[in-house]
Amino acid sequence: MLEVKDLVKTFGDYTAVDNLSFTIPEGKIMGLIGQNGAGKTTTFRLILDFLSADSGEVLWNGHTLNEKDYDIIGYLPEERGLYPKISIQDQLIYFAALRGKSKKEIEPKIDEWMEKFQVKGKKTDKVKSLSKGNQQKVQLIATLIHEPKLIILDEPFSGLDPVNAELLKDGIIELKEKGSCVIFSSHNMDNVEKICDHLIMLNNGRTVLNGKVHEIRQSFGRTKVFLESDLSLENVQSIEGVKEAHQREDKSIEVTLSDPKAGEEIFARATQFGYIPMFNQQPPTLEEIFKMKAGATHE
């Protein structure tokens, strides 16, 4: 279990991380989101002891991380780093050796992980011969092949197409199911929503959201309605409590409510003549919440 308690880090007059606390139990995934400069990468560097905190502490299973604990960490930095003139195999063995793993332990796993992430190439190929996407997969394998108990991923989905992003998600979930703690940052709210057990959002170093994704969404109220009926756009716009409404390309209407109770009136009017193909009232998406909170000032 990873515990971060009251972490503070300043650079001169600038506070990069401001009294941050969270816990990640074994077998759980936490998403850390926020605008560029919100404090995500600084948080990762504090956990890894690349930076020293002004105050607060980071605990692994109840104790301060020590040299031995770093062998069970997998860290993928935002700035990738591979040796272009070294083969995939030699590179993976080398990085695993830095985590206390022997060639005998790692070599048999290389084919399995390359197949899992569908790396296009042979394990004897030099990294420079691979496409950018396949180089990124090799970097991910280097992070995960020693099956770390604590996994820290800084923008792991950056540059991946949807198919390869799905492969990465499967890899993360597999390690989660084996008991690993995972913390990752991403600007793709869809990925965050699909795989996170818990979510923290930072704004200028301070925590502005903290909780389970569905609970965070529900806390904003059911202010979105998606409607397919014979009700006109003008009729919907005239209802009290409707903040905004527009017709989408498929002719359905998307409505933003200032008052969730307005959904009842929309439903009543839409169904006055019977069956309608669609009425869906739900909270704002995580991406919409992100935009709201990223632009908000501190309370």
Distance of CA 282 to the CA centre of its chain: 22
Cα–Cα distance between 56 and 148 in angstroms, integer? Answer: 25
Closest CA to 31 of 39, 18, 20, 40: 40
Q: How would you write the pLDDT of the chain (299 residues) with one tens digit per residue?
A: 999 999 999 999 999 999 999 999 999 999 999 998 899 999 999 999 999 999 999 999 999 988 888 889 999 987 778 888 999 999 999 999 988 899 999 999 999 999 988 998 899 999 899 888 888 889 999 999 988 999 999 988 887 888 888 888 888 888 899 999 999 998 888 888 888 999 999 999 999 999 999 999 999 999 999 999 999 999 999 999 999 999 999 999 999 999 999 999 999 999 998 999 999 999 999 999 998 888 654 44
What domains lie within the chain, and their CATH numbers?
Answer: 2-217 (3.40.50.300), 221-282 (3.30.70)
